[in-house]
Structure 1
């Protein structure tokens, strides 16, 4: 293990995921609440000082500014999607408009599977992206995540609320109906993208699953998929670690 450490920042919609990386070794990682970033800052002070910070931000400019103020004078290089980077080619119509978290997840996915891959990030929103064996990001979808689907029903109706329910084949309560409706909708979106990518390439695509709701979706996907499911923690941080090693243009925030 050699070289200075890099601080990796995944500023998501609901929380900050972070890691301290030195070469190929992850020294520390964790999750921070936006409401108490000062506690996170204090914890960082007890760790090896990073030489640089790289991150992706989908939480908006105010969050980015708050993090920059906390870490000053350490500059943060925020990832922006590129037309080509890290061995991948971005086929978005406007490559720079692809979410930084999706791009980081695609870059991270390449470390775990080099074949045709459906990259799923199951968080507040769920993204399902198609990545070919040749390194082409072909496109993908964004849908409300598991909790957001349930919350939308609760907010948009008078009586449904947020009842709990188990995953069952034939729901027989309102809670089960809502929970399983969300699970089937999310699983169906993933399976359709897997089928589309397999049809496009003529090869069977593997599903790579990450994000806060990965544990909720994994049993449903394992039952429905004819190919192995690869579950990965902190996929966005894996992509940022690759970029922190040097494959990233300088763009300080």
Structure 2
């Protein structure tokens, strides 16, 4: 049984999955400071014949991961003008983050209509993909944690108080938590409105990432009806690419 190791090297941690075709053999999350533990865990699993990944964490992280697999040539994804029927409308396609590209490929494997692909992690990205296969463009905004930290660093007294979700916050902690979530939900709502105006069709919201449940709590009922939560969207996109016929050319 040949296995492929998929890697999603994000800003704060590494997500991984070991797959064989459409079968997921194992998956997990590793801290960059304890990559040796990640390697030890893999020792108990089938050895991968190929390693395919997305890296937005920089060259130092890439080198640290590569050092774990000296017998392999790691394949780091680069965004392309066209791949798997998805057309990249970025002015410079290669400048699009590989995680966003993989996420859109993964989203289209689950739904072929008009999509708003939302990745809610350290940063939140909201990308518009239409049924014809065009990635129109998208936005990037600080994620939930970064929004809270920006207030803590930019003010004298606010700090990082905790708070629960509430319609009308009644403490500083609640005000900060709900303000950040409202801003993220508002960014999604704004792009959703623009995309529906552009196509005149129903738009599904594919939502993934660690802060997805928190953001969901702030979406309007109308938006929540169009929600399609999918875990590990980047890894799913990478798996779609791993299953391509290697003899096929992509532009």
TM over 0.5: yes
Matched position secondary structure for 1:221: coil
CA distance in structure 2 between the partners assigned to 1:21 and 1:193 by the alignment: 34
Q: Does the 8 Å CA contact 1:221/1:229 hold for their aligned counterparts?
A: no
Q: Secondary structure in 2 aligned to 1:225? A: helix
Mapping of residues 205-220 of structure 1, within 5 Å:
205-220=203-218
SS in 1 for 2:99: helix
Q: Which residue of 2 aligns with 1:24?
A: 22
Partner of 1:60: 58
SS of 1:59's partner is coil
Residue in structure 2 matched with residue 130 of structure 1 by the alignment: 128
CA distance in 2, matches of 1:49, 1:145: 35
SS in 2 for 1:193: helix
Aligned residue number for residue 108 of structure 1 = 106
Distance 1:247 1:160, change over 3 A: farther
Alignment partner, residue 33 of structure 1:
31
What secondary structure sits across from 1:233 in the alignment? Answer: coil
* CA positional deviation for 1:19: 0.2
1:127 is paired with a residue of what secondary structure? strand
Q: Deviations over 1:99-146 (max 9, x none)?
A: 000000000001111110000000000000000011100000000000
DSSP-derived class of the 1:53 partner? strand
More moved, 239-248 vs 94-103: 239-248
Deviation at 1:237, TM superposition (A): 0.2
Q: Answer yes or no: is 1:186 the counterpart of 2:218.
A: no
Mapped partners of 2:167, 2:93: distance in 1: 41
CA deviation string 1:122-179 (max 9, x = no partner): 0000000000011100000000000110011001111000111111111121111101
CA distance in 2, matches of 1:29, 1:121: 19
Unaligned runs of 5+ in 2: none
Distance 1:248 1:211, change over 3 A: farther
Residue 234 of structure 2 corresponds to residue 240 of structure 1: no
Q: Give the equivalent residue in structure 2 for 1:141.
A: 139
SS in 2 for 1:54: strand
Shift of 1:247: 5.9
Structure 1 residue 244: Cα displacement: 1.0
1:170-181 alignment, distance < 5 Å:
170-181=168-179
Q: Could you report, residue by residue, the CA deviation over 1:30-72 in whole angstroms, capped at 9, with x for unpaired residues?
A: 0001110001101111100110000000000000011111111
Q: C-alpha root-mean-square deviation of aligned residues, in Å?
A: 1.5
Change (3 A) 1:218 1:247: farther
The answer as to whether partners of 2:216 and 2:224 remain within 8 angstroms in 1 is no
TM-score for both structures, normalised by structure 1: 0.95
**Cα drift, residue 227 of structure 1:** 3.3
Deviation at 1:249, TM superposition (A): 9.3
Q: Check the 8 A contact 1:153/1:160 in 2, yes or no.
A: yes
Residue 199 of structure 2 is aligned to residue 201 of structure 1: yes
CA distance in 2, matches of 1:54, 1:180: 37
